[in-house]
Structure 1
């Protein structure tokens, strides 16, 4: 141990240090106004503006502290204890520490900002095990800023039943609470969701997390709304490789008979599910990239989203048309290609016979390359889309675009000349038009563009001056057009 201070006195085994104290040891870094250290029994008393950092994990701020470094016994009053690993802080009247167990009296706990926490929990006594990363607290009161949370129950007293009020009060002012501060991925209970609504009553949802291996985990989330009903959700996440993830979620919420009849809802049970899969490096190598993506969803009505668990307590307004997608792409320095399928589900209808589907959609793009010589460049873009439905008009569309460009500098690179020509082919083949026959459409168009550009730059000592002038002329025109064209 090393002690630095403005003044140090030694009397036998007792060392007294005063003024700008710095204490270094393998486990501690300490600053204080005064320190008394007993070399024989390795204890230290600290006075005034005490700051103790232990193992770079916890920080303690106090006016008085007693440290038994051999037996790891600490005592401090009053104290602000900050755990850097978990970002949990405890402001207590006293903390007595024996080894890894902190015994706490008259304290406030939070993980928010220390000066004005959004939430905090006040308790009369408790203990914190830094090794197990577990906190037990007794006689708790939840605060929202400086206001006890149970105060917010008072306006609801005339509108809800006595059991609901009592349950909510006990949750907001719990006699006992124990929880882990360990942020590592492991099985157990996750952060619950509480809420209260005039129509839903008291809301309580408790996620239960299970992680049997590093590559997979599960969540089961039961919830209850005292005036409305109850629900169940299941979630699974699985990493089948280093480049892929699979997610699956499903759930159901059942309305109470009274709520279902009073609100005249379409369904008493709201259910749905989502499947997501994302995979990279299927067939690619070091010179290319590829990926497969799938997003499939279904539900019987939008109330499924408004009744499922969400950590922000937000009401979700969803479209009545659900989009599911499956897509694969392959990209190289020379070209890019993709194929995808889109499925639309209008949950406001009994069936989707007249809803347009897109299966498949294909795209191929060749990146710009030199043609015959460097200054003449060309690229190719092709897209195919099949739009169809059981009832109603459908179509297969083909789009081919071939742009050419030529550019050259003149007058010692002061003037850039560019000429571009793009030729586009658009074809439409109609399907399912047995009642009202449509003539297939063909459109061939072109666009000529000429531009002159001047880009000047002059640096000065403190700034750079630039001047850019551009003159551009474009002439789009149709080369051929026939049939019925919907674009």
Structure 2
């Protein structure tokens, strides 16, 4: 979290051009435990004391260059001039010049921020400045600087304040501030954060100003009022509380009121948008030292999606109209796992959420593989219960139980690995018609499943690489299932049952090959290839080939390229493919992902095609230009495209982005909205910056 005026002071360096009307040098004497002479350089270590008629200096290490007349001081540095304390720090340097008759004090901080002042005085640990300027850029010709007539740093409060401030870009003044103040440490303090200032052709002038309140170490509060001249006003609040070292509670609430003209023009459903989010995460809640547990809650209650779109946290995100709330808890030991999960879904585009199916709750238990009688004979268990509920429509309580037994052994000097498995599988569906006129019989599905697998792992070294192979096959034979009641597409084709299917499994034989090429020391993966083919058996014993799956990834010096595809033998054509390509050479980069599916009589897929690509390059050391686009090829629609310019010169940062995007909106017809937005973020490091957003247009799609 960056404050608008942020400064970190941990180490101070001071450089003096000593007053010298008679052009005579300041004469020093040095006392130390160890003194080393190397030509013109003297190094003193161990309780060093330097003194002259003007200065009294102590440190643990001093390096003095007689030729350049520069002294560097390290560790527990204390500098007094005319019996007045000027610096207590871990590092300082003093440069004595004979050509100036005016004293100039130069204070440099660990984060590269420095202050140069014509006059400095101190009282105890407080420092006072006159005719000064500060920056974090190059001392000789800073890109930016703030000049001020007077100022003071109060050590007890770590508070720096300055008066009559002028912000300069190079030598050009651009902003005047009569008063400027900020904390000089990294502790959390109450104060203003970075504002967002913007303009939209539809919303007019925009101003979002966060205010941070930090009354204690374990909690804080952020208030974010926002004003949109042509649209309305709102307030978002964010509360954080750490109730233990292993937990964090975050609560946010927001409200926004629309102007009547704006709501009518854009056909928005609601005049008021509001919502509440509760996020809580904690580990080590009940677990003992050897166990592990965790609790996670993310509860989202909102009236419509505009509540999230208007949030200052929305930034450059585009939110979908479906919102999920979840609560999870798990407890894990070396032998067992227990979890409970709650899911609540809200479709903000629907007029009512009564028919949306919720999972309240899901209970899950898993027994990790455990030896039974011998080490080669193992068993595990997995069971779950899910309550599918809603206000209107069929409700179901689903219970699943899986109890597998494994027996594994090796043959031919461990070249061949054999695994035998017997699995008991049971599913029960308890239907509740929930005021429906039609009744459904509770479903029961029981099956005994057998499988045998054989695999081998091989490795062979070559002169310049290593080759590994995993080759295997698995035969899966389920018994005829014992089926009772109504099961979708098994005993009943009623579409009401579609959300609650029981997937039948048939006999199949699968083969796979996975191979990799490594450098000789296994440090670098060069190529990975996986291929899998299944033979499917129908209930009458006839066979057919399942989809052929092939995946290959090649890693090279400048990136990688990968492809994954599925080939359907019944249709004699590809039905799905995904390709990714990444390249980075010098200051240039290019990344792309292409995804494609095809609807065929046997693919059970919908046709789709999209591509996401990003390209850019860096230049002149500090600059980077890039372009990113998400394009729906099938519908010929650009979901999002953006142009970005980044300048990072260390002492200042600029990020400029132009985005053309589709966002979900709570309109009467639930259509998405296309908008052109310009984002601008400027930081003068480390004192802070400003964010700006300009929306060029906002049109319904």
Cα deviations by residue, 1:5-33 (Å, 9 ceiling, x for unpaired): xxxxxx996459993455668699xxxxx
1:444 pairs, out of 431, 443, 446, with 446
Figure out how many residues of one structure are paired with residues of the other and give that number.
431
Distance 1:335 1:148, change over 3 A: farther
Instruction: Output the CA distance in 2 between the equivalents of 1:118 and 1:273.
Output: 46
* Structure 2 partner of 1:213: 216
For residue 360 of structure 1, report the CA deviation from its aligned partner.
1.3
Instruction: Output the CA distance in 1 between the equivalents of 2:386 and 2:464.
Output: 52
2:437 pairs, out of 421, 435, 441, with 435
2:256 pairs, out of 247, 250, 253, with 253
* Structure 2 partner of 1:265: 268
Gaps of 5+ in 1: 1-10, 29-36, 59-65, 151-171
For residue 50 of structure 1, report the CA deviation from its aligned partner.
5.1
Distance 1:24 1:95, change over 3 A: farther
Distance 1:348 1:453, change over 3 A: closer
* Structure 1 partner of 2:52: 39
For residue 214 of structure 1, report the CA deviation from its aligned partner.
2.6
Question: Equivalent residues in 2 for 1:225-236 (5 A)?
Answer: 225-236=228-239
1:362 equivalenced with 2:363 (yes/no): yes
For residue 52 of structure 1, report the CA deviation from its aligned partner.
4.9
Cα RMSD after superposing both structures: 4.1
Instruction: Output the CA distance in 2 between the equivalents of 1:128 and 1:446.
Output: 81
Contact between 1:369 and 1:378, CA under 8 Å: does it hold in 2? yes
* Structure 1 partner of 2:320: 319
Instruction: Output the CA distance in 1 between the equivalents of 2:464 and 2:237.
Output: 60
1:109 pairs, out of 122, 135, 146, with 135
Instruction: Output the CA distance in 2 between the equivalents of 1:297 and 1:420.
Output: 43
Q: TM-score, normalised by structure 2?
A: 0.53
Question: Equivalent residues in 2 for 1:418-429 (5 A)?
Answer: 418-429=419-430
1:238 equivalenced with 2:259 (yes/no): no
Contact between 2:456 and 2:472, CA under 8 Å: does it hold in 1? no
3-state DSSP of counterpart to 1:140: strand
Contact between 2:86 and 2:127, CA under 8 Å: does it hold in 1? no
Contact between 1:80 and 1:89, CA under 8 Å: does it hold in 2? no
Instruction: Output the CA distance in 2 between the equivalents of 1:479 and 1:48.
Output: 93
* Structure 2 partner of 1:343: 344
* Structure 2 partner of 1:179: 182
Distance 1:376 1:206, change over 3 A: same
Instruction: Output the CA distance in 2 between the equivalents of 1:356 and 1:148.
Output: 62
Contact between 1:231 and 1:308, CA under 8 Å: does it hold in 2? no
Instruction: Output the CA distance in 2 between the equivalents of 1:454 and 1:125.
Output: 79
For residue 370 of structure 1, report the CA deviation from its aligned partner.
0.9
Instruction: Output the CA distance in 1 between the equivalents of 2:47 and 2:267.
Output: 70
Cα deviations by residue, 1:149-170 (Å, 9 ceiling, x for unpaired): 97xxxxxxxxxxxxxxxxxxxx
Distance 1:464 1:374, change over 3 A: farther
Instruction: Output the CA distance in 2 between the equivalents of 1:193 and 1:147.
Output: 26
Distance 1:332 1:385, change over 3 A: same
Instruction: Output the CA distance in 1 between the equivalents of 2:69 and 2:416.
Output: 70
* Structure 2 partner of 1:292: 295
Instruction: Output the CA distance in 2 between the equivalents of 1:221 and 1:459.
Output: 62
Q: TM-score, normalised by structure 1?
A: 0.74
Instruction: Output the CA distance in 1 between the equivalents of 2:433 and 2:273.
Output: 35
Distance 1:307 1:467, change over 3 A: closer
Distance 1:454 1:128, change over 3 A: farther
Cα deviations by residue, 1:98-147 (Å, 9 ceiling, x for unpaired): 4542526463435xx869x999553344535272433334333376xx79
Contact between 1:253 and 1:308, CA under 8 Å: does it hold in 2? no
Distance 1:325 1:13, change over 3 A: closer
Contact between 1:272 and 1:304, CA under 8 Å: does it hold in 2? yes
Higher helix share: 1
Cα deviations by residue, 1:346-398 (Å, 9 ceiling, x for unpaired): 23334321111111111110110012211011100001111121212222222
Instruction: Output the CA distance in 2 between the equivalents of 1:121 and 1:300.
Output: 47
3-state DSSP of counterpart to 2:286: coil
Contact between 1:121 and 1:142, CA under 8 Å: does it hold in 2? yes
1:141 pairs, out of 158, 167, 173, with 167
Contact between 2:325 and 2:343, CA under 8 Å: does it hold in 1? yes
Instruction: Output the CA distance in 1 between the equivalents of 2:273 and 2:349.
Output: 13
Instruction: Output the CA distance in 2 between the equivalents of 1:221 and 1:20.
Output: 57
For residue 90 of structure 1, report the CA deviation from its aligned partner.
2.6
Instruction: Output the CA distance in 1 between the equivalents of 2:392 and 2:142.
Output: 56
* Structure 2 partner of 1:31: none
Contact between 2:212 and 2:222, CA under 8 Å: does it hold in 1? yes
* Structure 1 partner of 2:147: 123
Instruction: Output the CA distance in 1 between the equivalents of 2:77 and 2:451.
Output: 65
Gaps of 5+ in 2: 1-24, 31-36, 58-63, 88-93, 96-102, 489-500, 503-701
